[in-house]
A and B are shown apart, each in its own frame.
Chain A
Amino acid sequence: MLRWMGKFKALIMLGIVTLVLTACGKENLTALDPKGYGAEKSMDLMILSTVIMAAVFIVVMLIFTVVIIRFRRKKGQEDFIPKQVEGNHTLEIVWTAIPIILVFILAVPTVMSVFDLADEADASSSINIEVTGNQYWWHFDYAGEEIQTSQDLYIPVNEKVYLDINSTDVIHSFWVPTISGKMDANPENTNTMFIEAYEEGVYWGKCAEFCGPSHSLMDFKIVVVSQEEYDQWVEDMQNVDPEVQVEDAVAQEGQELFEANNCMGCHAIGSSPVAVGPNLTNFANRTTLAGVEDLTKENIVSWLLDPEAMKPGNKMTGNYPELTEDEAGSIAEYLMQLSHSDITPESASN
């Protein structure tokens, strides 16, 4: 008897630990605290299914416990031969019928929500953004606005935004857990998904389909801002002039190096179809460098000197002229000047 009590204690402890951890999850990363349409739909079904499953589990465990305690062979029962029961029709029908009913209860809302999330009726009247996965970064093309950016996706709050997702190389998957479930970025077709965020803020996005050595470093962000801020941001982005000279002397040197080394061959600044590497418009306002690192001058320098160390398997390594530390420093200084809008991730968080 005591042994089984001990086992239950362990189970209860496990339950408490899990509850604590459930509450934890990082804000704007966890799927357990949804702040968007898709994530909320998923959460509703998670809760419904968890409740049903927990009920079934409790029933199974009750029978299980009773059976083990009551029918365990005791001393002196070694020769006891139990009645050999073949089966019981009533019981068997009961435990076939009840699961069928439970499955039906789950199936109806599932089918409804699947079709709801695939609804494309509003696509033509909404913001449409082409999302392209690359090893190992994300490109965003605001088709209607003629804006191209990468890594940080700006969208207005409480507004349906349609994403046309594809890939240029292997399969990736676009996932922002707090706002919506994931959708694969396939090289052969475009998948459409809409997202709608309910709160302003900066949300973590992750690549969720295994895509190579730096799969775990392919993070991105969705920056959700108010409608006014979004309009302002769009205007700022449309007016970026890549030719404009920076003022600081070191940065100017960096700009010259940037041009002399033909960095624009891969990295566009401003609206441009070039997307071999990440578009660097508004680079200074990025949340991170290379997806996961802090955006500091030191980090940019170490990236420029040895990208492989930060992101194994990236496409930049070996495909640009070698730079001295000073040159890298100047370019970093230049890149840190590329602030094209006052609408920043900070303004979304406030």
Chain B
Amino acid sequence: MSIASTQKRGFGAILWDYLTTVDHKKIGNMYIAAGAFFFILGGLEALIIRIQLVKPENDFISAGLYNEMITMHGTTMIFFAATPLLIGLMNAIMPLQIGARDVAFPFLNSLGFWLFLAGGLLMNCSWFLGGAPDAGWTAYAPLSVVSPGHGTDFYVMGLQLSGAGTLMGGINFLVTIVTMRAPGMTYMRMPLFTWTTFIASVLILFAFPALTVGLFLLMFDRMFGSAFFDIALGGNSIIWQHLFWIFGHPEVYILILPAFGMFSEILPVFSKKRLFGYTSMVFATILIAFLGFMVWAHHMFTVGLGPTANAIFSVATMAIAVPTGIKIFNWLATMWGGSIKINSAMLWTLAFIPSFTIGGMTGVMVAISTADYQYHDTYFVIAHFHYVIVGGVVFGILAGLTYWWPKLFGKVLNETLGKIAFWLFFIGFHLTFFIQHFLGLMGMPRRYWVFLEGQGLDTGNLISTIGAFLMAIGSVVFVYNVIITSIKGEKAPADPWGDGRTLEWSIPSPPPEYNFKQLPLVRGLDPLWIEKMEGNNKMTPAEPLDDIHMPNGSILPFIMTIGFTIASFGFIYQVDHSAWLIAVFGGMAIALGTMLARSLKDDDGYHIHKEDLEKEVD
């Protein structure tokens, strides 16, 4: 009896701990867990799409359901899988890399996470409430405005919620990196992953508001009778495409730049050699981000913007190949002359180089607007951006997870299973997507529910579907690896790879809640490596041992999110019945009331005392 009740309390306590936590590591882990959940969901949707396209004129699912699948696959993968997985890693790792004890705004961090999760769950509720959004993940007006049912309303409110969360995350990272670097950690000594987190956060800050504006216009058109996109009433539907892609193109770099950062961490460690051309890597990152805002209309070459616009956006887009090329060659040069150890984290990294190079090259090819008149909206484009997003971002996330897993969870993932997962996924990936370049050119537009018999598209689609299943099996092996490691894995030391170069490897795995007992003194790029080369096994402290000030946990972000979610349901359904306005005002009252409570009540946090710290062993 007593044991059972202790366990029950134990579970409740853990749940409460996670609901109220403001610890960046726990929030990071929750981001990763939620991102993984949505990744599996998006993956299942992808499999259903591929089953439908396994043979010509298949009737596995109806046209309407197929459109819901493609819409939810794209939206889920970009907003609820790739972005949170990356934000999770940034959250968990970046403060450790700059020698900080938490992010600048721990409360905001928690709020950001809950808003993202609420947005993702809200949108998926639509499956059970009359149908998911079906206007494509790009939700082009006027199709999205006239789309019947509440699907697109869920799309709007879900993205609005999670977008607000992401924006908060971006601002938080920016302030953290600007203000909370350890003594001696100058900008040009920051690890590349921290640099790319910084730049990606700048992109979030400037790109997401464009999406927010677009979504508001769409929301008002659908729910409150405005006519921003209604041509008959003097609106303009093309403006949606501009707003969406002014956000959408930088979003690609929000995803790929942190992945670049992770590869730039992993390659030096497993080559035992410092990153080649650090300065040019930093400036290439900044240049890519800057150019990323200048090229959105290359998604719109066939809209009819005219030859001048098409020519300018073509050339601007091609220019991005230059800094990207610099990065590829710098990575190769990092390995040149090194001592390369190939484990599963490194396999993902090595596989990234050719895969992403193909994606980058087809990127230059679609930038040529004359050629894009053929590529646009076909499977060639599908192949191109999956080479970038899967071959770049997903490989990066899986490499980063494998590399930092011991730091996050204190255990090293099983190597054999890691390698099996890699080979299945890698081969499956190329089988699925390489052939799609040709399917596109052979006349298969994207978002086609069926392709016709006798158009030469059968074999290619069959190969593609087989590849998709290999990727799925690879993902299952990866998940199995995670489960088996958490049950059986051995405890990892502070620096399980033995060649760690950056600050996160100087503290225990997983780190204590305060991260650094004493803030470290940073003497150059790769600070831990510098200390190792001088025979010190640990960082020199930059401050005497003293009390550590910690923020208090809080349930308020969770309650605030509940309020916003109730209001979102209210917005969606008040179209049907004005009684739902009660939910709008009630939800907003909860959210605003919580904000008021937070503003009026002082929360000074607490201190971990020096005496307690002294008792703890390193």
Q: A residues bordering B, Cβ < 8 Å?
A: 10, 14, 17-18, 21-22, 24-26, 29-32, 38-39, 41-43, 45-46, 49-50, 53, 56-57, 60-61, 63-64, 67-68, 71-73, 77, 80-88, 91-92, 95-96, 99-100, 102-103, 106-107, 110-111, 113-115, 117-118, 169-171, 173, 175, 177, 180-184, 186-189, 191, 204, 206-217, 219, 292, 312-313
Contacts of B311 in A (CB 8 A): 110-111, 114-115
Most buried by B among A42, A57, A214: A42
- CB pair B441 A30 closer than 8 Å: yes
The secondary structure that dominates the B interface is helix
B136 beta carbon closer than 8 Å to chain A: yes
Query: Would A61 and B354 be within 8 Å (CB), given that A31-B374, A216-B448 are in contact?
Result: yes
Contacts of B307 in A (CB 8 A): 114-115, 117-118
* B461–chain A nearest beta-carbon distance, Å: 11
Determine, out of B184-192, B365-373, B401-409, the stretch whose residues face the partner at the interface. Answer: B365-373
Pick the contact of B319 from A18, A103, A115 — CB < 8 Å?
A: A103
13 contacts between A and B (CB under 8 A): A60-B328, A67-B336, A81-B272, A88-B333, A96-B326, A99-B326, A110-B318, A114-B311, A115-B311, A186-B237, A186-B304, A188-B236, A208-B445
Alpha-carbon distance A187/B232, docked complex (angstroms):
9
Within 8 A of A (CB), among B133-173: 135-136, 140, 142-143, 146
Pick the contact of A26 from B140, B231, B314, B443 — CB < 8 Å?
A: B443
Contacts of A39 in B (CB 8 A): 374
Pick the contact of A183 from B143, B302, B341, B434 — CB < 8 Å?
A: B302
Pick the contact of B279 from A87, A110, A206 — CB < 8 Å?
A: A87
Alpha-carbon distance A42/B365, docked complex (angstroms):
11
Query: Would A99 and B325 be within 8 Å (CB), given that A186-B303, A186-B304, A216-B449 are in contact?
Result: yes
What residue of chain A has the Cβ atom nearest to residue B533's Cβ?
A81
Contacts of B443 in A (CB 8 A): 25-26, 29-31, 177, 204, 206
Contacts of A111 in B (CB 8 A): 311, 314-315
Pick the contact of B304 from A17, A114, A191 — CB < 8 Å?
A: A191
- CB pair A208 B376 closer than 8 Å: yes
- CB pair B449 A64 closer than 8 Å: no
Query: Would A26 and B442 be within 8 Å (CB), given that A42-B374, A182-B376 are in contact?
Result: yes
B592 beta carbon closer than 8 Å to chain A: no
Pick the contact of A181 from B277, B302, B446 — CB < 8 Å?
A: B302
Most buried by B among A46, A67, A72: A67
- CB pair B332 A85 closer than 8 Å: no
Pick the contact of B140 from A77, A107, A210 — CB < 8 Å?
A: A210
Alpha-carbon distance A105/B397, docked complex (angstroms):
35
B226 beta carbon closer than 8 Å to chain A: no
Query: Would A82 and B337 be within 8 Å (CB), given that A25-B441, A186-B237 are in contact?
Result: yes
- CB pair B338 A29 closer than 8 Å: no
- CB pair B333 A106 closer than 8 Å: no
Contacts of A213 in B (CB 8 A): 63-64, 67, 449
Contacts of A22 in B (CB 8 A): 438
Alpha-carbon distance A136/B280, docked complex (angstroms):
52
B613 beta carbon closer than 8 Å to chain A: no
- CB pair A212 B143 closer than 8 Å: yes
Instruction: List 3 A-B pairs, minimum CB-CB distance, nearest first.
Output: A181-B373, A191-B304, A216-B448
- CB pair A63 B142 closer than 8 Å: no
- CB pair A50 B365 closer than 8 Å: yes
- CB pair B459 A49 closer than 8 Å: no
Given contacts A25-B441, A92-B330, 12 further A-B contacts (CB under 8 A): A10-B427, A26-B454, A30-B456, A60-B328, A114-B370, A169-B146, A173-B377, A182-B302, A183-B302, A183-B373, A207-B445, A312-B62
Contacts of B561 in A (CB 8 A): none
* B179–chain A nearest beta-carbon distance, Å: 29
Query: Would A216 and B451 be within 8 Å (CB), given that A31-B441, A42-B371, A110-B314 are in contact?
Result: yes
Number of A-B contacts (CB under 8 A): 286
* A219–chain B nearest beta-carbon distance, Å: 8
Alpha-carbon distance A207/B445, docked complex (angstroms):
8
Alpha-carbon distance A71/B147, docked complex (angstroms):
57
Determine, out of B3-11, B242-250, B356-364, the stretch whose residues face the partner at the interface. Answer: B356-364
Contacts of B326 in A (CB 8 A): 92, 95-96, 99
Alpha-carbon distance A243/B358, docked complex (angstroms):
61
Pick the contact of A45 from B325, B368, B378 — CB < 8 Å?
A: B368
What residue of chain A has the Cβ atom nearest to residue B307's Cβ?
A118
Query: Would A26 and B455 be within 8 Å (CB), given that A82-B337, A188-B236, A206-B443 are in contact?
Result: yes
What residue of chain A has the Cβ atom nearest to residue B372's Cβ?
A181
Within 8 A of A (CB), among B398-443: 427, 430, 434-435, 438, 441-443
* A243–chain B nearest beta-carbon distance, Å: 34
Pick the contact of A24 from B146, B236, B310, B442 — CB < 8 Å?
A: B442
* B395–chain A nearest beta-carbon distance, Å: 15
Alpha-carbon distance A25/B443, docked complex (angstroms):
8
- CB pair A211 B370 closer than 8 Å: no
Alpha-carbon distance A180/B430, docked complex (angstroms):
29
- CB pair A85 B455 closer than 8 Å: no
Alpha-carbon distance A22/B442, docked complex (angstroms):
8
Pick the contact of A187 from B142, B306, B361 — CB < 8 Å?
A: B142
Alpha-carbon distance A182/B237, docked complex (angstroms):
19
Pick the contact of A171 from B140, B310, B330, B364 — CB < 8 Å?
A: B140
* A14–chain B nearest beta-carbon distance, Å: 7
Pick the contact of B434 from A18, A173, A204, A219 — CB < 8 Å?
A: A18
Query: Would A206 and B237 be within 8 Å (CB), given that A18-B435, A21-B438 are in contact?
Result: no
Within 8 A of A (CB), among B249-307: 271-274, 276-280, 302-304, 306-307
Contacts of A181 in B (CB 8 A): 302, 370, 372-374, 376
Alpha-carbon distance A167/B276, docked complex (angstroms):
53
Alpha-carbon distance A292/B604, docked complex (angstroms):
69
- CB pair B430 A312 closer than 8 Å: no
Contacts of B278 in A (CB 8 A): 86-87
Alpha-carbon distance A206/B236, docked complex (angstroms):
25
Alpha-carbon distance A233/B337, docked complex (angstroms):
73
- CB pair A215 B339 closer than 8 Å: no
B13 beta carbon closer than 8 Å to chain A: no
Most buried by B among A24, A84, A86, A207: A84
